[in-house]
Structure 1
Amino acid sequence: MTQATPAPPQVEHTSTEEYMLEPVPVHARRQRWSMFVIWVGFGYVPTGLIVGGQLAGQGDKPGMNFPSALFSIAVGEGLLLLLTVLLGVAAMRTGLNLSLISRISYGKKGMILPMLIMAMLTLGWFASIVGMVGSIFDVAVGDLTGITVFRGLSLEYVLLCLFWGAVFTWSAWRGIEIIERISGWAAPFVLVVAVVAAILMVSEYGGIGAVLAEASTRSGMSQGTGVTIMLGAWIAGVIMGVDIFRYAGNNKHVWVGAAACFVLTNPLLNIVGYLGAIATGDSNFITWMAVKGALLTVTGVILWVLALWTTNMSELYCNALYVGPAAESMGWRVRRGKIVIVVGTIGTIAGSLGFYSYFFADFITILGAAFVPLAGPILADYFFIRRKEYATANPNEMPPVRWPALISFVIGAVAGVIFQYWLPLPWNFPAGFAALILTFILHIVLSRVMQHRPEQQQVVSAHYDSPAALLR
């Protein structure tokens, strides 16, 4: 189906819109250093430390020795790197954010369901990270006023959450440039402190020999389970990376950004978390720093805030890129800046009222199992079904629904929840990742079966200047 349509109206772009409803043009692409520092900051989250601690085994839970942990880290991070690069290349070539690239795969209205799930997920993460910042201040400062506001939450906790939530919201409102700037000067600091903290913890335990001797006694966790833990912890961030890599200038920039997270930052945090769990019983070295005197306490608090700042503004930044195009598909045009402010306010209030403490685990587990499959139709479409269309079609001129993508996503989302709660897979294989594989295969099969349906025909948009054509 070839559409010879008049030139579409120009989408107004302002400094705060961040190409929400149009591809990022070639002249707005960022440099290699930008991709590097943004992904270092994006990847520096407590999840990496927690995963390392899980590999070590804490309390009565099984773990694995250090060589086995290194193998699981290498395999898991390698798979995450590959998936990130595949999605990143599609984003870089088209210049499209996740919502717009989903319009080609799912249709202009078909993308609404997966994008609303993504919006809920990132809102939950934003609220939780606001709560994490409040928690570390609680550990460092304590309850100074003695005033309890809500369900055991101190006044200090609530006020600090409100303050930092406002800061994170302002940063996301400013857009990719401020994310790059903050990550640029924060990234070296957080990486250096992580290494120094690991050295101090190991030294306190008696040296690396003593730590490795204790690590050699850890057992009970299989390699398959170790790799599974690695994949499940970061598969969400892999898909969100589309919204960052649309600013990349070429394939090398995609590789540099992905490697910054999955070769440098995340493996480093995994190893530090592993060593910390062996040496101190706690994978989060910042908690250890907070009780080791004023200097380490202040350093740990600064590090925690910077690390979570770089991550949380990316969560809110991406959220607006899901909500805005989804709303536009329903006929409502809302500016990105307004979305950031409204969602940031909701997330800040939720974070200050204890979302992290009371709801985070179940909320993230359910949505994490359900949303990951949305990448399956994008990958299958771009690399196997209709790659040419991604370079020639205006995402605003797509058919309402492309059924292979929507059907395969719904089946994959349901399967992800079933795998998570009722039908666990062998070796604890991550439910979301298994559902992604299922959706990928199912989309290819359904696309072949339905290839003669009208909405499945290729769309070629007149007067559409695709970044892919200029990047060839």
Structure 2
Amino acid sequence: MTQNAPGNDYPLSEVPMHARKGLASTAMVLLGFTFFTATMFAGGKLGVAFGFAEMMAVIIVGNLLLGLYAAGLGYIAFKSGLNSVLMGRFCFGEVGSKLSDLILGFTQIGWYAWGTATAAVVIGKYFDLNEATVLGLMVLFGLGFCATAYIGYRGLEILSYIAVPAMMLLLMLSMWVATAKVGGFEGLLSVVPTGSLDWSTAITLVFGTFVSGATQATNWTRFSRSARVAVLASLIGFFIGNGLMVLIGAYGAIVYQQPDVVEVLLLQGFAMAAMAMLLLNIWSTQDNTIYNFAVAGCNLLRTGRRKTVTLGGAVIGTLLALLGMYDMLVPYLILLGTVIPPIGGVIMADFFYRWRGHYPRLADARLPAFNWPGLAAYGVGTVAAFSSPWVAPLVGIAAAALTYVIVTGMLGARRVSAPLQDL
């Protein structure tokens, strides 16, 4: 199969204009991606640490920053028709880009393993299944969740059109019942925080939880029909969608001392709805996650066989789930919030400063094996994020972008490129 065969989604080239999508399609896929159980745990920590009004301010600020970051990369994806790993060839070099492939691919396969394990463990607890049966469910889910990603963008789109409205309805129902239980809006305002978080830590929690996903949302915003579609879809997915997940987690923590909406639905007496929510919530993110892995893997291996890489990734993710990925979420989230954001910072600096807003066609570009300013900037951004006492992901992005601009300017490597022809 060639890389441009129908359903293979252009893993090694620009997405042509005839294959681009509108706002509804792009936003729905991104909402399916950001509607994710793990994000609710970040909201749960906010719910017990702030009064309701201050908590809402943290959620708005944190998710607005996340949405703007995703929108910046989404605009580049629209302009170029490329995703983050292909953009990596410009800012890190033909061989150097394999670094970002490994980092982005590793993070996504970790998410896939965690989601697969979570679905099996929660269902196992609810139905009181033995360990062997739970392990069997991990295998079933690990191979089953990749089905829509195997189809490609169209498969992700179809599932999102089913899952997102259904999840939205369940979430609104759960919030309505929770609000009534706590005594309405006045009851929410009167809840006294039992924990404490400073604003820097809180923003880091909100922004960092899904920044790895925002960095790779270019896999779908590159299908955008216009800059408006790319930017709005990014804001809808990451400001509104991710923000809603954080808010739901906070609600659960305030009212039920439980941030997971599945557990909340069980407490509210909606057992079947809880199981449906679990599977829709995880599946609609899992297929996007393994799709991300496949795209990074295709660039790493320089192969157009996206479907084969998708299946291979599902097998690896399933094995990691069987090996206990379920218990490693917190340290994994901290790692993601540190090593991923600087990649986005380098990409944006490279596109807007070095290439002045226009990449040449990837097939025509004469790129070095290693773009040392990009690799050095990524290293500086990562170290800055690791050592920052402030919002680590934002520091990593800013440090990487600033370093890239300074080093590129000093070396005189800035260049003017001709605008892309019609894709």
User: Does the pair score TM above 0.5?
Assistant: yes
Q: State the 1:20 CA deviation.
A: 0.6
Is 1:24 paired with 2:15? yes
Partner of residue 353 from structure 2, selected from 381, 384, 394: 384
Quote the Cα distance in structure 2 between the aligned partners of 1:255 and 1:389: 17
Question: For structure 1, which segment, 312-321 or 228-237, has the greater mean C-alpha deviation from structure 2 after superposition?
Answer: 228-237
Quote the Cα distance in structure 1 between the aligned partners of 2:203 and 2:334: 18
Partner of residue 321 from structure 2, selected from 322, 343, 351: 351
Partner of residue 439 from structure 1, selected from 392, 400, 403: 400
Quote the Cα distance in structure 2 between the aligned partners of 1:70 and 1:120: 33
Quote the Cα distance in structure 1 between the aligned partners of 2:260 and 2:311: 31
The aligned runs of 1:332-351 (5 Å cut-off) are 333=303, 335-351=305-321
The aligned runs of 1:152-171 (5 Å cut-off) are 154-171=131-148
Match of 1:177 in 2: 154
- Cα 1:71–1:12, aligned 2, differ >3 Å: closer, same or farther? closer
Quote the Cα distance in structure 1 between the aligned partners of 2:273 and 2:195: 34
Larger Rg: 1
Partner of residue 303 from structure 1, selected from 272, 277, 284: 277
Contact 1:140 1:297 in 2 (8 A): no
- Cα 1:393–1:261, aligned 2, differ >3 Å: closer, same or farther? closer
Quote the Cα distance in structure 1 between the aligned partners of 2:364 and 2:283: 32
Q: Which amino acid aligns with 1:327?
A: L
Q: State the 1:218 CA deviation.
A: 5.2
The aligned runs of 1:3-152 (5 Å cut-off) are 12-57=3-48, 63-143=49-129, 146=130
Gaps of 5+ in 1: 1-9, 58-62, 147-153, 461-465
The aligned runs of 1:245-324 (5 Å cut-off) are 245-293=221-269, 296-324=270-298
Determine helix, strand or coil for the equivalent of 2:21: coil
Q: State the 1:448 CA deviation.
A: 0.7
Q: Which amino acid aligns with 2:214?
A: V
Quote the Cα distance in structure 2 between the aligned partners of 1:393 and 1:20: 12
Quote the Cα distance in structure 2 between the aligned partners of 1:356 and 1:398: 41
Question: For structure 1, which segment, 178-187 or 261-270, has the greater mean C-alpha deviation from structure 2 after superposition?
Answer: 261-270
Question: Per-residue CA shift, 1:227-279, capped at 9, x if unaligned?
Answer: 23221222111101111110001012113312322343222222222221111
Determine helix, strand or coil for the equivalent of 2:9: coil
Q: Give the number of aligned pairs.
A: 423
Question: For structure 1, which segment, 133-142 or 89-98, has the greater mean C-alpha deviation from structure 2 after superposition?
Answer: 133-142
Quote the Cα distance in structure 2 between the aligned partners of 1:388 and 1:279: 48
Gaps of 5+ in 2: none
Question: Per-residue CA shift, 1:285-305, capped at 9, x if unaligned?
Answer: 211223454xx1111111111
Question: Per-residue CA shift, 1:389-412, capped at 9, x if unaligned?
Answer: 514553764221111101111232
Q: Which amino acid aligns with 1:254?
A: A
Contact 1:56 1:218 in 2 (8 A): no
Question: Per-residue CA shift, 1:108-143, capped at 9, x if unaligned?
Answer: 111111211111111101101101111220232112
TM-score, normalised via structure 1 length:
0.84
Quote the Cα distance in structure 1 between the aligned partners of 2:228 and 2:118: 34
Question: Per-residue CA shift, 1:407-428, capped at 9, x if unaligned?
Answer: 1112322333x32xxxx514xx
Contact 2:66 2:238 in 1 (8 A): yes
Contact 1:86 1:379 in 2 (8 A): yes
- Alignment identity in percent? 22
TM-score, normalised via structure 2 length:
0.93
- Cα 1:366–1:270, aligned 2, differ >3 Å: closer, same or farther? closer
Structure 1 segments (4+ residues) deviating >6 Å: none
Quote the Cα distance in structure 2 between the aligned partners of 1:287 and 1:232: 24
